[in-house]
Amino acid sequence: MVNTILDNVSHKTEEHEFYNSLPEGYNRGKTKFVIVYGTVMSGLGKGIFAGSLANLLQLKGLNTTLMKFDGYLNVDAGTLNPFRHGEVYVLDDGTESDMDLGTYERFLGKDLTKKNYLTGGKLFTQILSGERNGNYLGRDVQFIPHVTGEIKQFVRTLAMTSGADIVFIEVGGTVGDIENNYFLEAMRELIYEEGKENVCNVALTYILEPGFLGEQKSKAAQLGLRQLMGMGIQPDIIACRCDHEVVPKVREKISVSANVLVDRVVSLHDMPSIYLIPQLLEKARLDEQTIDLLGVRSRVRPHYEEKLRWEQYFRNIQIISKSVKIGITGKYTSLRDSYASIIKALEHAGTHLGVRVDLEWIDTTNLSKQDVAKALQSVDGIIVPGAFGSRGSEGKIHCIEYARTKQLPFLGLCYGFQMALIEFARNVCGLEDANTTEINPTTTHPVIDILPEQKKIDSLGGTMRLGGHDIDLKEGTSAYELYHNPVARERFRHRWECNPDYIEMFENKGIVFSGKAPGREIMQILELPQNVHPFFMGIQAHPEFKSRPLEPSPLYVGFLKAVIGLQGKK
């Protein structure tokens, strides 16, 4: 009955309390949905679970995509402090998103868009704008049906535009959070409208394992699951996060408490790499169970060749015996999620080259020139990551000088590219006052200056040079050799750049600008020749956002190759 009413109701209708959230041409049942919820606490790895299961189903020949809902009232993640929220991940279309979107892209090997990411701020901006434009035609705009209706519209629009067999929906936060209650209600309504046969609910929970007790406890998990069920959402699958494999007795307790078959209550315990999680889920037959729950067995067309590539990657992770140590010199080092994509890009490249990458976290906030040698004495190479603002900048410059003069492999990312030019200007070109106008607007040598198109912009959110852009590569350079192509595409997130007035000076003193923006004097990759330095390269972009397990970033591979080569000579 509800399906018939919903198909015929429109925004103009006041005869029903149903709000039409069906895009034109939407065919109910064509797309299936897997909705992933969190209980007990945040940070359980909902994105990793969703990406892993989507990966397995994709290898079965099913077209999958993922979306994330974040309840906070920011329009996007662009203005969020990495200390509070982890890194800001940038999509090719310029969307500044939650780091889980990076997890999705890496597991699926697909580029996602703004249609895969919804925040409370984006949602309410859209609703209030619509209200001002008269879209609701005199109705009092309410959470039900309008807010929940717009959420369902967003989900179904992604289903149509992606052509996916299965759309994975990750509900950010934890059941019980005020900020995501309306989204949970929207999911309950989606199940009601789509039909239970078209939706699979997955709940992640946490199994406590207090050291003073010496056993696993499930009561907190049971209470969290009961809270989800109290909102009208019955889980079909429960994934239990724990340090160690969840024992059968605990899984049985969860099964009875939540009315879920024990075979669908699975252990999601710690693994050496997140890329081993798909194997864990496959062993529990979650891919097969999801296929049966959603009734898509007839759509299965296994991709054997791609599966073999992933299985080889899994094996490579587990047989690595050699290691290198890389220093991450930044100011957000106390929160590893601030550099999540860098960590993953190093893992991808390291696995490709057969080495484990151990990380040394070096906080540059108060790092003096006298302390640099000691701070870097045990590392085989350094990465200077992206950032904004003055804190830690001088420490980064000291690290770059050490790497340049001591033949230590160096990779500068975005801000690291800019700091490398400042260091070179000061210590090679003799411009002692060289700086970026971001830090010192009155510097006499602004070797890094704001992009011309940025000078009239006052706001912060979504106003930088963002997203994927092509880079023209100079033939005969290391960058050209690494990309094996005259043009590379990388993702950017910056306002400042190399000041064109200083390009000739840098080149005369030995810097090679091996990549620039097509048709513009915007320098985007710098390097020192291999006969001068084993690997000294900076890029204005963030190549880590493009790195994938089966297709590691060329710059990260080149960087680690140089590290391994030097290590072999010691």
Residue among 242, 239, 237, 238 at smallest CA distance from 216: 242
Backbone torsions φ then ψ of 549, nearest 5 degrees = -55, -45
Q: What is the DSSP string of 292-319?
A: HHHT-GGG----HHHHHHHHHHHHHHHH
* Rounded distance between C-alpha atoms, residue 168 and residue 159, angstroms: 10
Residue among 549, 58, 112 at smallest CA distance from 316: 549
* Rounded distance between C-alpha atoms, residue 160 and residue 31, angstroms: 8
Q: Extract the tokens encoding 566.
A: 């030097």
Active site residue 498: no
Long-range contact list for 205-214, CB < 8 A, 24+ apart?
A: 205/39, 205/40, 205/44, 205/238, 205/239, 205/240, 205/241, 205/254, 206/39, 206/40, 206/41, 206/44, 206/240, 206/241, 206/242, 207/240, 207/241, 207/242, 207/246, 207/250, 209/242, 209/243, 209/244
Active site residue 542: yes
Active site residue 303: no
* Rounded distance between C-alpha atoms, residue 316 and residue 352, angstroms: 8
* Rounded distance between C-alpha atoms, residue 546 and residue 417, angstroms: 18
* Rounded distance between C-alpha atoms, residue 106 and residue 277, angstroms: 13
Cα–Cα distances (Å) from 480 to 361, 427, 506, in that order, read: 30, 27, 20
Q: Is omega for the bond preceding 145 within 30 degrees of 0, making it cis?
A: yes
Q: Extract the tokens encoding 249.
A: 């007795």
* Rounded distance between C-alpha atoms, residue 155 and residue 180, angstroms: 16
Stated as kind and residue range, the H or E segment containing 61 is: none
Amino acid code (one letter) for 459: S
Greatest C-alpha distance within the chain: 80
Rounded to a whole number of angstroms, the CA Rg of the chain reads 25
CB atoms within 10 A of CB 182: 18
The residue from 414, 445, 490, 533 that is catalytic is: 414
* Rounded distance between C-alpha atoms, residue 439 and residue 150, angstroms: 42
Q: Extract the tokens encoding 361.
A: 């976290």
Strands ordered across the beta sheet of 434-436 = 434-436, 445-450, 496-498
Q: Extract the tokens encoding 64.
A: 């999958």
Catalytic residues: 414, 542, 544
